[in-house]
Amino acid sequence: MNTMKNDLYLRALRGERVERTPIWVMRQAGRYLPEYRATRAQAGDFLTLCKTPELACEVTMQPIDRFGLDAAILFSDILTIPDAMGLGLVLEEGVGPVFEKPLRSQADIDRLTKTDAEQDLGYVMDAVRVIRKELDGRVPLIGFTGSPWTLASYMVEGQGSKEFRRIKGLMFESPAAAHQLLQVVTDSVIDYLKAQVAAGAQSLMVFDTWGGMLSTSNYQQFSLAYMDQIVKALKADPATADTPVVLFTKGGGAWLEMMADTGCDGLGLDWTVDMADAKARVGDRVVLQGNMDPVVMNTGSEQVTDHAMQVLQAYGNHAETDRGHIFNLGHGIQPHAKPDNMRALVETVQHKSAAFHQG
């Protein structure tokens, strides 16, 4: 493969000393960019955009070309696996992802079988291969998945939810069925992530969007246990053992120590977590990624610069004993964010963070 021109992100994830803090942003290829909206219009709809490797590559590259971020992330969706399982994914304007055939019975769960990544999700691997070729070693490529709990939540609810009445009901009333579902999804996720690495992904991220709405004991049993399986399966396979893995549970600030116990390389932090506190708790065990409030990106460049500096200062100096920091938002950038603010954010981190890496 190509030699890396900018491997700052990968070095930081490995806990190596770096000259400055690397930065990438969740949903950095997205609706806030006019060029993304133009490509999406050309595709006709979001799923076609995801399933057309050349177009997925085009939008993956847009924020890299425009802002010079330190990593690219595969343009795809977390719901590719449930879609491949035949649940009939559609994206409804103003509603978001909806499954036409959500899981409503034990028989529905019994029918599920593990996906074959290359066979059922080949378009994702094709996109990874096309993007790696197009990147030509400029920056690393991040592959990703939704967590088993998050995927199962969508599969049972049929769409996003505030109460999570159905998936929590399944968990409380039929824990064996919930675990059966989560295991099929987990097996599919492991295969999917291994295939992404084989296709060219250089690090992996697991988005546990809905783990934060569980109690601590339920989080341990129904979300973290399956992410732990994923990390251990990847670390046990020589083909993926050296690929860094980052876990991100939105709303999971209370559980950082448990998450670090999985053996993952990094933890994503949402904006509710105090960065200095997180560093004191687990910063010698994992790299920390985050965690500016994404809403700041909808304001002015002065606010963006101020808040970026606050995050850098909260992490503080990168001593030998610390694993390190990767700058990101605490969740995905929003459609109303201003592109000029992304430029201000990237320039602030890339020009001001070196001071925190002296000594």
CA angle, corner 186, sides to 180 and 190, nearest 5? Answer: 150
Sign of CA dihedral 120, 242, 275, 345: negative
Choosing from 31, 37, 129, 166, the catalytic residue is 31
Is 154 considered catalytic here? yes
Q: Does 30 belong to an annotated binding site? A: yes
Is 242 considered catalytic here? no
* Cα 356 to the center of its chain, rounded Å: 26
Find out whether 318 and 22 touch, Cβ atoms under 8 Å. no
Q: Which two tokens stand for residue 314?
A: 């909260």
| DSSP letter string, 55-76 | HHHHHHHHHHHHH--S-EE---
Q: Does 343 belong to an annotated binding site? A: no
Q: Does 77 belong to an annotated binding site? A: yes
SS3 312: helix
Is 40 considered catalytic here? yes
Q: Does 31 belong to an annotated binding site? A: yes
SS3 237: coil
Choosing from 32, 36, 154, 226, the catalytic residue is 154
Rg, C-alpha atoms of the chain: 19
Is 306 considered catalytic here? no
Q: Does 129 belong to an annotated binding site? A: no
Q: Any bridge partners for residue 19, and if so which?
A: none
What does the alpha-carbon distance between residue 92 and residue 125 come to, in Å, rounded to a whole number? 26
Q: Which two tokens stand for residue 340?
A: 């000029």
Q: Any bridge partners for residue 100, and if so which?
A: none
Choosing from 20, 27, 138, 285, the catalytic residue is 27
Sign of CA dihedral 216, 220, 223, 224: positive
Q: Does 29 belong to an annotated binding site? A: yes
Choosing from 9, 20, 70, 77, the catalytic residue is 77
Q: Which two tokens stand for residue 313?
A: 């200062």
Choosing from 40, 132, 138, 285, the catalytic residue is 40
Find out whether 177 and 156 touch, Cβ atoms under 8 Å. no
What does the alpha-carbon distance between residue 312 and residue 352 come to, in Å, rounded to a whole number? 9
Q: Does 293 belong to an annotated binding site? A: no
What does the alpha-carbon distance between residue 168 and residue 355 come to, in Å, rounded to a whole number? 47
Is 27 considered catalytic here? yes
Amino acid letter for position 42? Q
SS3 22: coil
Active site residues: 27, 31, 40, 77, 154
Residue ranges of the binding site: 27-31, 77, 154, 209, 331
Residues making up the annotated binding site for substrate are: 27-31, 77, 154, 209, 331
